[in-house]
Amino acid sequence: MPETDQPSLRGERPDLLADCSRCFGLCCVALPFNASSDFAVTKAAGTPCHHLREDFGCGIHADLRREGFAGCTVFDCFGAGQKVSQHTFGGKDWRRAPHTAGQMYAVLPVMRQLHELLWYLTETLMIPQVEDLHGELRALRDRTDRLTMGTSAELRSVDVGAHRAEVNTLLLQVSERVRARVPGRRKNRRGADLIGADLRGADLRGANLRGALLIAADLTDADLRAADLIGVDFRDARLGGADLTGSIFLTQAQLNSAKGDETTRVPAALTRPQHW
């Protein structure tokens, strides 16, 4: 069964892991949210969350879910927050330099998308089955890296949609190669509406699940090895006993949104959510 060398991914690019201690609480200010099951209150974009401390830490970090802020425990910036804070704006925060606040908030979503693409591209370079694509993948990763190093104005002018489409073309090739190594007929459920589906014990090895809606689906004991999970909505999906090792393009945010337990087999590049 093909598997990525996922432990190396974290060590290869620690800058793609969120480090809130080096960020100016940007996700707590720049992003909006509405009162719902994920957030206890409504907050407008550009308005600091009332739980944000003066040192940019969260006043209820240890109790976010109990206090009604489950959405905060799901979000992952892929390290974009500290890149914007420490590189793009040179360590000057929006409190000390309020004239930069609007620019900083506009840059964050651009940087997050670029860092997400860097995560995927770095993962592909750990997959031996696509070594003949590594040169092209590495060149695209390097070009994406250079985009993240731009000024605030340069970042705001990036056509993220076009760049994502270019990256996705290569990621699709990687996906086909990895999944082709799985014997038997591989399921194609790309973009499928599987909300609440009963998929207990399902053999989803090598499946194409790109963009599938698996909200509240029951994937207990399902086999998802070598499945393409890019963009899958796992909110409240039950993953107890499921095997996700060797899956491709799974992110921490997707895991955080699901409901697993100690029997869930998690890729080594990711961490088991504390709320499981």
Percentage of residues in the chain with pLDDT exceeding 90? 91
Q: What six digits make up the tokens of 9?
A: 């991914």
pLDDT per position as a tens digit, 169-228:
999 999 999 999 999 888 999 999 999 999 999 999 999 999 999 999 999 999 999 999
- Checking if the pLDDT of 67 tops 80, the result is yes
Cα 23 from Cα 40, distance rounded (Å): 23
Q: How many CA atoms lie within 13 A of 96 on its CB side?
A: 10
Q: Tell me the CATH class for 186-276.
A: mainly beta
Mean pLDDT of the chain: 94
Cα–Cα distances (Å) from 251 to 99, 101, 115, 157, in that order, read: 34, 29, 12, 26
- Checking if the pLDDT of 1 tops 60, the result is no
| 104 closest CA partner among 113, 116, 95, 114 | 95
Write the burial class of residue 14 (CB in 10 Å: 0-12 exposed, 13-18 middle, 19+ buried): exposed
Expressed in percent and rounded to 5, the helix, strand and coil fractions of the chain are: 40, 5, 50
Q: How many CA atoms lie within 13 A of 146 on its CB side?
A: 7
Average pLDDT over residues 132-155: 97
Cα 135 from Cα 254, distance rounded (Å): 29
Worst-scoring range by mean pLDDT, 46-50, 151-155, 265-269?
A: 265-269
Cα 217 from Cα 214, distance rounded (Å): 5
Worst-scoring range by mean pLDDT, 5-19, 71-85, 175-189?
A: 5-19
Q: Regarding predicted confidence, which is higher, 198 or 12?
A: 198
In this structure, the chain runs to a length of 276
For residue 32, give the amino acid letter: P
- For the chain, give every domain's residue range: 6-31+75-180, 186-276
| 264 closest CA partner among 209, 249, 248, 247 | 247
pLDDT at 129: 87
Single pTM value for the model: 0.92
Average pLDDT over residues 160-176: 97
Cα 30 from Cα 44, distance rounded (Å): 8
Cα–Cα distances (Å) from 198 to 218, 219, 221, 242, 269, in that order, read: 5, 7, 11, 13, 28
Percentage of residues in the chain with pLDDT exceeding 70? 96
Average pLDDT over residues 25-35: 96
Residue 214 DSSP one-character state: -
- Residue 237: CB atoms within 10 A of its CB come to 27
pLDDT at 221: 98
